[in-house]
């Protein structure tokens, strides 16, 4: 399967970060030595520490990956592990790789999958993650609603054309199937983001 140079570069970028995590990890790492991988176009909830702190207590000890943000998938379909404001659900098939956390074992397991020759660079990396989750190869959980989103406003013409060919709604990049099963948003919206919220300390237009 052919993938574009941009998608190959995105795959390689995530792979290099995960490799650096493995290179710097020690033999004494535990499941609570958490690595956060964030892309450079994110916005996050201002009170993200308060939202995330109680979630880690509810994670099983054998977790691999936690998606802090996601898109193109109903991640609330499985029963939540938490009943607080921000929920933690077993992942379904989350796409978008803008914000996720890895355990030491999860980083190693993900790296082995991403470098396996028949699988490596076989598709867009977010589709690869979704497949690994859906097939049970990663023990994955999703924060619902997401506490980190991509700062995306209007779709460019190439994205518009891709959405049109793939049967997704066109116009704003945010108009797709949402968690209610109807046409809502392609991603969650933040309550009060660092960039986008009414109290955002870095609030400005991007």
**pLDDT: is 29 or 154 the higher one?**
29
- Decide: 157 and 165 in contact? Cβ < 8 Å: no
> Rounded CA gap, 145 and 164, in Å?
27
Residue 81 lies in a domain: yes
Question: What is the structure's pLDDT at 77?
Answer: 59
Q: How far is CA 36 from CA 65, 67, 69, 86, 166, in A?
A: 10, 10, 12, 18, 31
Is it the case that residue 187 has pLDDT exceeding 60?
Answer: no
Question: Is 194 domain-assigned?
Answer: no
Structural domain boundaries enclosing 68 = 5-165
* pLDDT-derived band at 109, boundaries 50, 70, 90: very high
- The mean pLDDT value of the chain amounts to 76
How many domains does one find in the chain?
Answer: 1
Name, in order, each residue with C-beta under 8 angstroms of 200's C-beta and a sequence gap of 6 or more: 46, 192, 193, 194
- With bands split at pLDDT 50, 70 and 90, how would you rate the model's confidence at 95? confident
Residue with tokens 């943000």: 69
User: Angle CA(116)–CA(118)–CA(22) in degrees, nearest 5?
Assistant: 15
H runs (alpha helix) in the chain: 5-24, 48-56, 104-114, 125-134, 157-165
Q: What pLDDT does residue 170 have?
A: 46
The residue that leads in pLDDT, 91 or 95, is 91
Residue 188 in any domain: the answer is no
Minimal CA–CA distance to 42: which of 138, 152, 182, 174? 152
The answer, as to whether pTM is greater than 0.85, is no
Q: Supply the pLDDT for residue 22.
A: 93
Q: Model confidence over 56-66: pLDDT tens digits?
A: 888 888 999 99
Residue 63 lies in a domain: yes
């Amino acid at each position: 399967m052919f993938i574009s140079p941009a998608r190959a570069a995105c795959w390689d970028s995530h792979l290099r970060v995960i490799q650096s995590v493995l290179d710097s990890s020690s033999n004494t790492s535990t499941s609570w030595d958490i690595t956060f991988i964030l892309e450079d176009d994110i916005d996050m909830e201002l009170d993200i520490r308060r939202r995330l702190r109680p979630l880690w207590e509810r994670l099983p000890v054998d977790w691999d990956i936690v998606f802090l943000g996601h898109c193109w998938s109903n991640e609330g379909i499985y029963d939540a592990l938490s009943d607080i404001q921000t929920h933690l659900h077993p992942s379904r098939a989350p796409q978008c790789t803008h914000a996720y956390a890895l355990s030491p074992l999860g980083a190693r397991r993900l790296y082995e999958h991403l470098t396996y020759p028949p699988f490596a660079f076989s598709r867009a990396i977010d589709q690869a993650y979704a497949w690994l989750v859906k097939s049970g190869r990663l023990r994955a959980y999703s924060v619902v609603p997401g506490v980190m989103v991509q700062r995306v406003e209007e779709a460019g013409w190439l994205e518009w054309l891709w959405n049109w060919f793939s049967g997704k709604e066109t116009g704003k990049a945010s108009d797709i199937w949402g968690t209610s099963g109807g046409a809502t948003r392609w991603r969650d919206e933040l309550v009060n983001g660092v960039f986008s919220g009414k109290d955002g300390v870095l609030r400005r237009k991007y």
